[in-house]
Amino acid sequence: MKTKTVFLIFFAVALGGLTTSCDSQAKRQRQARALYERGVQLRAERLSEDAAECFLQALPLAENGDDMALTANIKDNLGAMYNKHQLFEDALAMHRSAIADFKEINDSIGMMIAWRNCGRTTKSLELFAQTKAYYDSAFHIAALLRDTAMTNNLYLEIGRDYYMEIGNYPKAIECVHHAMDGGLDGNDLDIANMTLGILYYYINKNDVAKVYLEKALRSERAGIKMSVYQTLYGIALNEKNIKMAMKYEERFLEYMKLVEKENNNENILRIRAEYELKAQKSEMETLHRTKSFKLYLIIAVTLSVALVILLIVRKRISDNKIEMERFKSQVERDQNRIHELVSDMENLIRTNDELRRDHQTLSQKELLMTNKIMSRNKVFATAHGLSEHVTADSLNFNLSDDDWADFISLTDLVYDGFSQRLLSLYQKLGKWDVRICCLSKNGFSNQVISILLDTQTDSYYKRKTRIKQMKMNLVDDNRTFEEIVAAV
């Protein structure tokens, strides 16, 4: 009778442990679902940083569960947030991982959206061949599903993100018109009007361009209005209408400031770094709880066996007591060892944090020293001023060849003969090509460099592509122009 009672106690303990474990997993899934839905709501409200934090918190909770659809959707949405904040490599990795998950559960709609998102990201990385392949995959699924709305959006995006970028303007115009004929509204219609305005400007049909650009100005989006005013500024200059050009320039600068605020990615980098540290700590705590649960389970089983033996073999009570004491001693030693391991792990974390802080301090000192050396040069000072505050006065600058020569010499001083290494690797580079590379090496943005070159941002992107493909002969190199320059 006593033996049966002991086994019932052991069974109740084990069942309680399993129930607690299942409840904990179900709770994590509910938390992941709530965080994901909150992230989707914040994304719809254009609060991208708050949405990204929700998706980052939801992902490790969902990955430990069995709801792969939830995990895939979290990854795809998080990839979209990374792409918005210019973390393109991380965005592409997230979208590809989401595609793999959607394939495993045969979710065609999820795959279609994730393929489309991959196309958007590779366009930002200037990997145009991959962009076309991703959009074609999305087109194929949309056609099978007869999803007219997605098909229209894909025509708009492939016209804007692929054909316009590679310079096939007639094909781009055809795709955008196809999308508009299929039925677009809201923000998509504004983007289509803006894109057509730019495309007709590129093929010197200014009157047609102005019609679509005026329609695009109905948008509430600062980025769309910035691009529209930039194009209208170019049209006014071509028509020698200086008064209108100055007006459009002022509006362009006004909306460019708003766009820079929206595209600031420092907060999301901080959020991701902080959450990775939290995730590491949470993983350690989970590991410790798992070890403790297993240890308690082993103790319960061993005690149950010992009690059964004590009930059956009464004559060996004293021997069993000795064995029990030895067992307790071993358990205590194991517990002490576990505490030592946890303490060592905490010390490693503290040491890692100290090393990270030391590295950040050293990097800040190096950056201050570099800026101090380079700030003596007029080119660097002008570019630095444009990076901090763009006004009509700051755009009125005049840089001589001597200023550029001094800028390149200082860049060589700071980066150990950068221009000589560059020319030894890529001998076809011209004078202005070297200047562009030096500006990129010093970390200036595409907008600042395009202003210094007195050209539009889209034109500067095309110039970078020509330098990479024609001057550097790196057609098959998947790295961006900035990564190639940074590696020299």
Q: What is the CATH number of the domain that holds 129?
A: 1.25.40.10
The count of structural domains within the chain is: 3
Please give the pLDDT value at position 106. Answer: 92
Query: Which pLDDT value is given to residue 289?
Result: 66
DSSP letters of 333-377? HHHHHHHHHHHHHHHHHHHHHHHHHHHHHHHHHHHHHHHHHHTTS
pLDDT at 15 (0 to 100): 47
Considering the domain boundaries, does residue 268 fall inside one?
no
Among 322, 345, 372, identify where a domain stops: 372
Residue 267 included in any domain = no
Query: Is residue 437 included in any domain, yes or no?
Result: yes
Residue 181 lies in a domain: no
Whether the Cβ atoms of residue 229 and residue 258 lie closer than 8 Å to each other = no
Residues 364 and 395 in one domain: no
- 104 with 77, same domain: the answer is yes
Torsion angle defined by CA atoms of residues 367, 373, 376 and 382, in that order, rounded to the nearest 10 degrees: -30
Same domain, 41 and 119: yes
31 with 117, same domain?
A: yes
Residue 39, domain member (yes or no): yes
Q: How far apart are the first and last CA of the chain?
A: 81
pLDDT of residue 353: 66
pLDDT for res 116: 92
Q: What is the pLDDT of residue 5?
A: 52
According to the model, what pLDDT value does residue 2 have? 47
On whether both 110 and 134 belong to a single domain, the answer is yes
Range of the domain at 340: 330-372
pTM of the predicted model as reported, rounded to 2 decimal places: 0.51
**Mean pLDDT, the chain cut into blocks of 10 residues (488 residues total):** 50 48 73 91 86 89 84 92 88 93 92 93 90 92 91 91 91 92 88 93 92 90 89 90 90 85 56 53 59 71 77 79 82 78 68 58 54 80 84 80 94 94 94 95 93 90 93 93 93
Quote the DSSP letter at residue 439.
H
Q: Are 399 and 470 members of one domain?
A: yes
Last residue of one domain, picked from the residues 120, 146, 172: 146
Q: Are residues 365 and 402 in the same domain?
A: no
